[in-house]
Structure 1
Amino acid sequence: MVTLASCTLLGCHQSEPSGLTQVNEIANPQSVSSAAAPAPAAGPANISAPAAASPPEDGQWMMPARDYANTRFSGLDEINTDNVSKLQLEFTFATGTLLGQESAVLAVGDTLYFVTPFPNILYAVDLKQPGGGLKWKFDPKPDASAQGVACCQPVIRGPVYSNGRIFYNTTDTHTVALDAATGQLLWKTRVGDFNYGEAFTMAPLVVKDKVLVGNSGAEFGARGWLTALNVSDGSVAWRAYSTGSDADALIDTAEFKPFYPQYHGKDLGITTFPPDHWKIGGGTVWGWISYDPELDLIYYGTSNPSPWNHEVRPGDNLWTNGIFARNPDNGHARWFYQTSPHDLWDHSGVNENLLLDVNWEGKPRKVLVRPDRNGYIYVIDRVTGELLAADAFTYITASKGVDMKTGRLIHNEDKIPSQGKVVREVCPNSPGAKDWTPSSFSKRTGLIYMPHNNMCMDWEIKPVSYIAGTGYLGVNARFYPGPGDHVGEMMAWDPVARRKLWAVNEKWPVWSGTAVTAGDVVFYGNLEGWFKAVHARTGEVLWQFRTASGIIGQPTTFRGPDGRQYVAILSGIGGWAGALVSSELDERDPTAAKGFGNMIGELKKQSGIGGMLYVFALPR
């Protein structure tokens, strides 16, 4: 059986006044719908988040994804669809930096924690002080030279809290552990080497007695890895590479049980590359990690192979652009699934994996749901690695679907790049139908709330040579909007019915994460600086606030020491989509920001530059 994605997944796009909701229809192999059906207040019976990975609400937000299941769901409901329109600004806090603010804002007890882009200062904000005063800050003093190997600005996606400690990464590949109460440095470990193109942008995750960290740098030919550090002292417990021998990848044939036969064989992380190319083969790990305590498995994605010019690296290029399930104690792999074999377009597989329990075709299944950059939403059995569904959620020309028998992506032969040829209308473009920006899942509605993009590109490969610590791409790219009157979209997706229910269209790519609450409110921001609250069941925009700069951060919500519910977001344009603005690049170069220069020069007129924490609440 082959599930093919239609290349006319455009829906009904009509212009509406700013701030109003656009409800679209989308074709898929199952059915078509344009409105969400109401769900019982207790949540739908056919889908849930596993209790062990998503415990009950305690009013705090201690990791960027809120829980191990990556739901970004808050059980707080003081702020709800009836009163969110009254939300008002409580206080702001300047970050002191002007690059992209991608950190989540953690809330632990009476303190907020967030980390800035370079120089990676971690702030602790005291909620008991009027206006959120500074409790302490920590400056790790990272090496300034590392900024040059941070692909899309030296951003950091947040700290994580565990057992009285705060852990976070710095651009120059150090991981830091601090006393959460005082800011005292407990340990600092150098995990990578930026001289070889490695950098840190990800938020770490603590699982049991391990701090899990992964590197960036596939655009510099860095070899990808996930490393576990011991919580106690920061020493390295294990490292699993994304390329190379089975021993390097921590693949033990007695434990490694992938579902599909293409992942069986010896040292596939070497043999699926040209000779020795695996040493600079990419597959970096800079996205989100999930953890199922019952199965005792972590799940994470690996990024694109290096370089972007695919002719340099014939083969499937394992273990890049896929999902690993591993034992957190020793790193040994349990299974692997590749979303984009022999990646043609930089469709890095680092996006979040939401852990859900579903009634699938009449049977209970433990699954993970992955919205991928290649334009498909994957539903995979998280016990075995079997693909259950792969549905297009956007306009796609780069591929023709996913073969459900083999699990392989079907490349569009008409779009495969070759030397001396410009391939036009490749959709989605290299940032993908959805980049790292995280989705959320509501335990009340059973829906996934996904920020994503509607972009295409022209793509031309060119000769490329590897020099350590320098760019290793071999491509000229030019981005432009996909079909319709919008470039970004915030949508609700039903992972059981496999369909889009509603969408809010945005003029620019949606580079902010989302959060959803028991009050049926979804929060997200856009590149113009609007922070929005929409109705989780209908998509109606219920409230919006204009911040000083574009938003690429991750909203969080929490209960303050006064018992009230608050919502926090960092404003500050940057990252890949906003680098043209905050790094003051020349929009006359269509290839600036690796392709965005052609597209968003106008954004300079609509978003200021700056970093600011905004905290909101209902009136007293």
Structure 2
Amino acid sequence: MRREQGKGGERRGHGYGSWMRWVYSLGILLAMPLPLQANEELLRLGADPGQWPMQAKNYEATRYSELDQISARTVERMHVVWSFSTGALRGHEGGPLVIGSTMYVHSPFPNTIYALDLRQKPYTILWKYTPEQKPSAIAAACYDTVSRGVAYGMGKIFLGTLDGQLIALDAHTGNEVWKVKQGEIARGETITGAPIVIKDMVIIGISGGEFGVRGRINAYDIQTGKPRWVAYSQGPDDDILLEGDFNKECPRHGGEGEGTRSWPGEQWKLGGGTTWGWFSYDPDLDLFHYGTGNPGSWNTEVRKGGDNKWSCTLWGRRPGTGKARWAFQMTPWDSWGYDGTNELILVDLPIGNAKRKCAVHFDKNGFAYTLDRGTGEVLSAVPFVYENWAKGINRGDDRPIEVPEKRAKLGVDVKGVCPSSMGGKNQQPAAYDPETHLFYVGTNNLCMDIQAMEAKYNPGTPYVGADLLIYSGHEGRDKYYGEFIAWDPVKGRRVWEIQERFPVWSGALATAGGLVFYGTLDGWLKAVDARTGVLLWQQKLGSGIVGNPIAFLGPDNKEYIAVYSGVGGWFGLPAAVSLPKDDPRAAMGANGAADNSGLPQSTTPGGELVVFGLD
């Protein structure tokens, strides 16, 4: 471990904008019983418009800010007020956290964390922490050395490292409190997803599905790092952790024993289903929600004989026990690498004649799912991008109605499958605006040729079993590779869209100012009208944007927008590492797609936090 103390010395209190606000907060915390402390603290911080305490702003994962100083009327005055180099290249996914007057900034490998004191203009570095980790993790990163962010809770910052450690730091000083070994890099197990704090636990997943990793999530005691429980994505029921009434309302979605029965032999032990995406949580239902990735390997011949549950699955689990209340597999016996790890956004929607507690999920397979977040019942499932691998979703059993000609096959180059394995949407999180009742989604307009290949499992080496060629949508007929869209979840349709030259790999931010922010792979941060999609403002940054913009209130009570600049991620990897152009199938098909789109000629590698304001 290497930790450096900034010139500001030890942190001078964790103020929440004013002394009285700090005292009020402290009084609440001291009065609370320990098991609820982290939960209640984050609920309060998530509801505070000036804070950004979680990667998705709040437990519901709406990425919506109630701040409105920067609005459709004032946004033309917005400009860069300061910037900060992270000292790292490669893809800068995720976003910073703002807790009181402190901003916590993270980087991709080597996973450095900075605490910035925002009371000093533009900032003072309170502390810097770089974990000791194995450089071999770089080779084990499936699609770039990204980190999707850190988590905060009970005075601690939680970091997942690329080589599979979970580390708790004192939020005031940067000192290590505890660390655990969540993954084994020798088996290809890494951490690229962001943890989440629920009650008195920190919950984190594992990455490495293309290395034959068996997916799982782990919960640790927030104070000591001692393990609470582990829930696997496949295997025996005792490993998966099922409640007694699992899938009671929707038995058609599967039940007991299917974590092994739907796999041939013991292939489930190499089954993928990793958990590198996002988490959300409903305190009233006491369920947290997440998705699992594609099965391993991509070659379906080694997985023939069943649905390969529970890969490509959405889950509702109890945080206290880890037990699953429900699960719904979107892409049974996946042959395209469609995953299922994208976020579930928790909103209440009018469905039929009643208001339903819903979870909305834009899946890599191209379908937008609205589910009852308490039971997993599928309320709607319609395409949100162009897709041709399925004719729709059968509402009798909620399974896709596959087009057989589009299923990947061993030794056959299947042409024109849409969307590609990069998905109709990849990791870039959507936002929801409660005023417009719309979701805002960065999407990929991509198709592919895919061929299943032989794959032999060797621990710590790629276990993919597929060869891809990726190109623009509608089987290569389009000139654009991405769109930013507004989506009506009740009507199940787009309200407007903006075509972009490249896939929109950044997250979205919606604000009470009537604006939606998003970034492009060639480095433009854009603000559009939330109701019409009209472009109102844009600024070119030094590198492509694959991070997620946030809004916060500074100590001066002024609104700011912040975003990472730093090209990378799956599509951006060729621009980040300058891959040779003679192999279009390199980086799992990203190399040819990025080159054909002109991305390497449109941006350069970088690593920077950029903050915008009105003066």
Deviations 1:220-242 (A, max 9, x none): 10000011011011111000000
Aligned to 1:378, the other structure's residue is in SS state: strand
Residue 512 of structure 2 corresponds to residue 530 of structure 1: no
Aligned to 2:347, the other structure's residue is in SS state: strand
Paired residue type of 2:555: P
Looking at structure 2, the residues matched to 52 and 366 of structure 1 have their Cα atoms a distance apart, in angstroms, of: 18
Deviation at 1:587, TM superposition (A): 2.3
Q: Which residue of 1 aligns with 2:298?
A: 308
Indicate the percent of aligned positions where both proteins have the same amino acid: 43
Deviation at 1:131, TM superposition (A): 2.4
Distance change in 2, residues 1:259/1:422 (3 Å): farther
Looking at structure 2, the residues matched to 264 and 316 of structure 1 have their Cα atoms a distance apart, in angstroms, of: 10
Q: Which residue of 2 aligns with 1:412?
A: 403
Work out which of the residue numbers 576, 582, 588 in structure 1 matches 2:576. 582
Deviations 1:381-428 (A, max 9, x none): 111111110011111111111001101112111212222311000000
Aligned to 1:344, the other structure's residue is in SS state: coil
Looking at structure 2, the residues matched to 459 and 286 of structure 1 have their Cα atoms a distance apart, in angstroms, of: 23
Query: Are the aligned partners of 1:308 and 1:474 in contact in 2 as well (CA < 8 Å)?
Result: yes
Looking at structure 1, the residues matched to 581 and 102 of structure 2 have their Cα atoms a distance apart, in angstroms, of: 40
Paired residue type of 2:565: S
Query: Are the aligned partners of 1:588 and 1:597 in contact in 2 as well (CA < 8 Å)?
Result: no
Q: Which residue of 2 aligns with 1:563?
A: 557
Q: Which residue of 2 aligns with 1:165?
A: 156
Query: Are the aligned partners of 1:258 and 1:264 in contact in 2 as well (CA < 8 Å)?
Result: no
Residue 269 of structure 2 corresponds to residue 279 of structure 1: yes
Work out which of the residue numbers 180, 194, 199 in structure 2 matches 1:203. 194
Work out which of the residue numbers 175, 179, 198 in structure 1 matches 2:170. 179
Aligned to 1:599, the other structure's residue is in SS state: helix
Looking at structure 2, the residues matched to 371 and 411 of structure 1 have their Cα atoms a distance apart, in angstroms, of: 19
Deviations 1:541-561 (A, max 9, x none): 111111110000010010000
Q: Which residue of 2 aligns with 1:245?
A: 236
Q: Which residue of 2 aligns with 1:448?
A: 439
Residue 310 of structure 2 corresponds to residue 319 of structure 1: yes
Q: How does 1:102-501 map to 2 (within 5 A)?
A: 102-252=93-243, 254-314=244-304, 315-483=306-474, 484-501=478-495
Looking at structure 1, the residues matched to 538 and 360 of structure 2 have their Cα atoms a distance apart, in angstroms, of: 29
Deviation at 1:259, TM superposition (A): 3.7
Higher alpha-carbon deviation: 156-165 or 262-271: 262-271
Deviation at 1:257, TM superposition (A): 2.7
Q: Which residue of 2 aligns with 1:29?
A: none
Deviation at 1:261, TM superposition (A): 3.1
Residue 595 of structure 2 corresponds to residue 604 of structure 1: no
Q: CA RMSD in A?
A: 1.4
Query: Are the aligned partners of 2:550 and 2:563 in contact in 1 as well (CA < 8 Å)?
Result: yes
Q: Which residue of 1 aligns with 2:9?
A: none
Deviations 1:526-568 (A, max 9, x none): 0100011111111111111111100000100100001100000
Q: How does 1:6-155 map to 2 (within 5 A)?
A: 56-155=47-146
Aligned to 2:47, the other structure's residue is in SS state: coil
Aligned to 2:238, the other structure's residue is in SS state: coil
Deviation at 1:577, TM superposition (A): 1.1
Work out which of the residue numbers 614, 617, 620 in structure 1 matches 2:610. 614
Q: Which residue of 2 aligns with 1:19?
A: none
Aligned to 1:317, the other structure's residue is in SS state: coil
Looking at structure 1, the residues matched to 225 and 259 of structure 2 have their Cα atoms a distance apart, in angstroms, of: 28
Q: Which structure 1 residue ranges, 5 or more long, are not aligned?
A: 1-50
Query: Are the aligned partners of 1:54 and 1:69 in contact in 2 as well (CA < 8 Å)?
Result: no
Deviations 1:33-81 (A, max 9, x none): xxxxxxxxxxxxxxxxxx9799633300000100011100000000000
Aligned to 2:426, the other structure's residue is in SS state: coil
Looking at structure 1, the residues matched to 427 and 250 of structure 2 have their Cα atoms a distance apart, in angstroms, of: 26
Distance change in 2, residues 1:211/1:568 (3 Å): same
Q: Which residue of 1 aligns with 2:31?
A: none
Work out which of the residue numbers 506, 510, 513 in structure 1 matches 2:507. 513
Q: Whose RCO is larger (CA < 8 A, sep 6+)?
A: 1
Looking at structure 2, the residues matched to 267 and 173 of structure 1 have their Cα atoms a distance apart, in angstroms, of: 29
Deviation at 1:615, TM superposition (A): 0.3
Query: Are the aligned partners of 1:255 and 1:333 in contact in 2 as well (CA < 8 Å)?
Result: no
- Greater helix share, 1 or 2? 2
Aligned to 1:491, the other structure's residue is in SS state: strand
Looking at structure 2, the residues matched to 175 and 450 of structure 1 have their Cα atoms a distance apart, in angstroms, of: 30
Distance change in 2, residues 1:515/1:265 (3 Å): closer
Deviations 1:151-210 (A, max 9, x none): 011211011112221112111111111111111111111111111111000010000011
Deviation at 1:136, TM superposition (A): 1.0
Q: Which residue of 2 aligns with 1:543?
A: 537
Looking at structure 2, the residues matched to 227 and 251 of structure 1 have their Cα atoms a distance apart, in angstroms, of: 15
Looking at structure 1, the residues matched to 426 and 108 of structure 2 have their Cα atoms a distance apart, in angstroms, of: 18
Looking at structure 2, the residues matched to 585 and 94 of structure 1 have their Cα atoms a distance apart, in angstroms, of: 24
Looking at structure 2, the residues matched to 177 and 489 of structure 1 have their Cα atoms a distance apart, in angstroms, of: 38
Deviations 1:112-145 (A, max 9, x none): 1121111100011121222223221111122111
- Please give the TM-score of this superposition, normalised by the length of structure 1: 0.90
Deviation at 1:282, TM superposition (A): 0.5
Deviations 1:563-609 (A, max 9, x none): 10000001000111111011221122011111011111221111011
Deviation at 1:502, TM superposition (A): 0.6
Paired residue type of 2:302: V
Deviation at 1:265, TM superposition (A): 4.3
Query: Are the aligned partners of 1:243 and 1:249 in contact in 2 as well (CA < 8 Å)?
Result: yes
Query: Are the aligned partners of 2:46 and 2:57 in contact in 1 as well (CA < 8 Å)?
Result: no
Deviation at 1:86, TM superposition (A): 0.8
Paired residue type of 1:309: N
Work out which of the residue numbers 569, 572, 583 in structure 1 matches 2:566. 572
Deviation at 1:263, TM superposition (A): 4.3
Deviations 1:449-476 (A, max 9, x none): 0001100000111111111111111111
Looking at structure 2, the residues matched to 163 and 461 of structure 1 have their Cα atoms a distance apart, in angstroms, of: 47
Q: Which structure 2 residue ranges, 5 or more long, are not aligned?
A: 1-41
Paired residue type of 2:448: M
Query: Are the aligned partners of 1:92 and 1:612 in contact in 2 as well (CA < 8 Å)?
Result: yes
Query: Are the aligned partners of 2:299 and 2:409 in contact in 1 as well (CA < 8 Å)?
Result: no
Looking at structure 2, the residues matched to 418 and 373 of structure 1 have their Cα atoms a distance apart, in angstroms, of: 20
